[in-house]
Amino acid sequence: MGFRTRQVHLVRRSVGLAQPTDFSVADVELPALEPGQVMVQNLWMSIDPYMRRSMEAEATDLEPWPLHGPLDGPAVGRVIESRNPAYHPGDLVENMSGWQEHFISNGDRYVPYLSPASSLAVRQAPGARPQDYVGLLGIAALTAWGGMARLARIEAGNTVVVSSGAGTVGSIACQIARIRQARVVSSAGSEDKVRWLLDRAGVNAAFNYRATSADVALRELCPKRIDLVLENASPEHLSACLPLMNELKQILIAGFVGTYSSRGNMKIENFEYALDRFLTIQSYRIMDFLDEYDTFVADMLGWRAAGKMRLEETIYSGLESAPEALCALFTGGRIGKTLVRLADG
């Protein structure tokens, strides 16, 4: 006999801001397991800005989400039935089959964005909670860690600018820069987020880009100019940083979240400073750091235990809340990581 569960499906490819009505919750029946297969109940799923691009028919970096079919995204769940000797009931497994309460896996090895969505990786790091694998130890966190702990050329006292510092990538990047003894300046889209950056994330200076333009704020807050930028907000923010860069310094681009609702259209001003100041500008991908996953986990859990790292969580409950959670990413208000709790366990 089959197994009844629920999935979120995309029913319309929106233009501009995504709307909850672009999605629907579907009741589906999964078949009985065949030899080698595993049934997983998802416990937590991640909501990430990149998913707005997946809604487009012409997504470039990832396969676009289908209409009226199961979606993909980071999740963590428990094995509830197994006909595969490599997995046992109760195993905690990370996967890319979010947006559904249950799914069937063939037991392939999980490689984010590269392996089939139903691929699995058993997770059992001491001191980690299940939701950490889509939060503190998730893909967005690895993006921040890879940039700031592996690629960034930071010396004590350097001025580091991190855009959108109250989001997952930004908040973790800010804290790693502080751990590396940099002077950290960050931006956010509200006064509450600015206060959080100063009081909780420990940055040295922060500004509300909705109240003060980035070029004015950065000139005031970076009297010794800028040594490193971790950009994950917008071309406008990057454009404001370029004239303030010191020579031979570095810009790392983790993403441009501000363009995801406008089909990625962008224009970068002041690019002549990249040549005049001999800057290194690099975009990067998390796949470059997958062989260092254990080091990443040890760093993040160690820093948290030492009180040097925190990740605020905005938690939605129930699969039906996932569309609202995604849409809220682009209207502001939330701090840190957005998660959807699908089940206890």
pLDDT at 100: 98
pLDDT tens by residue, the chain, 345 residues: 679 999 999 999 988 889 999 999 999 999 999 999 999 999 999 999 889 989 988 866 678 999 999 999 999 999 999 999 999 999 999 999 999 999 999 999 999 888 999 999 999 999 999 999 999 999 999 999 999 999 999 999 999 999 999 999 999 999 999 999 999 999 999 999 999 999 999 999 999 999 999 999 999 999 999 999 999 878 899 999 999 999 999 999 998 765 555 555 668 899 999 999 999 999 998 889 999 999 999 999 999 999 999 999 999 999 999 999 999 988 866 788 999 999 997
* pTM of the complete model: 0.92
286 close to 50: Cβ distance less than 8 angstroms: no
* Cβ–Cβ under 8 Å, residues 169 and 143: yes
Residues carrying CATH 3.40.50.720, the chain: 139-287
Q: Tell me the chain's radius of gyration from C-alpha atoms.
A: 20
Predicted pLDDT of residue 233 = 78
Question: How far is it, in rounded angstroms, from Cα 184 to Cα 258?
Answer: 21
- pLDDT score at 62: 76
Distance CA 304, CA 75 (A): 22
- How far is Cα 26 from Cα 55, in angstroms, rounded to an integer? 17
What whole-number distance in Å separates Cα of residue 129 and Cα of residue 138? 12
Residue indicated by tokens 């990740």: 311
Which H or E run contains 23?
A: strand 23-30
What is the reported pLDDT for 179?
A: 98
CB 338 within 8 A of CB 314: yes
pLDDT of residue 1: 60
- The pLDDT, as a whole number, for residue 11 is 97
Strands 121-122 and 75-82: unpaired
Per-residue confidence (pLDDT) for residue 88, from 0 to 100: 98
Residues of the chain with CATH 3.90.180.10: 3-135+312-341
DSSP of 233-270, one letter per residue?
S-HHHHHHHGGGEEEEEEEEE---GGGTTTTT------
Q: How far, in Å, CA of 92 to CA of 120, rounded?
A: 9
Q: In terms of Cα–Cα distance, which of 288, 343, 327 is closest to 145? A: 288
pLDDT score for 14: 84
CATH of 139-287, one of 3.40.50.720, 3.40.50.150, 1.10.286.10, 3.90.1170.50: 3.40.50.720
Residues 206 and 279: their CA atoms lie apart, in Å, by 24
Which CATH number describes the domain made up of 3-135+312-341? 3.90.180.10
Instruction: Write the burial class of residue 1 (CB in 10 Å: 0-12 exposed, 13-18 middle, 19+ buried).
Output: exposed
Q: Rounded distance, CA 213 to CA 103, Å? A: 46
Return all residues near 275 (Cβ < 8 A) that are at least 6 apart. none
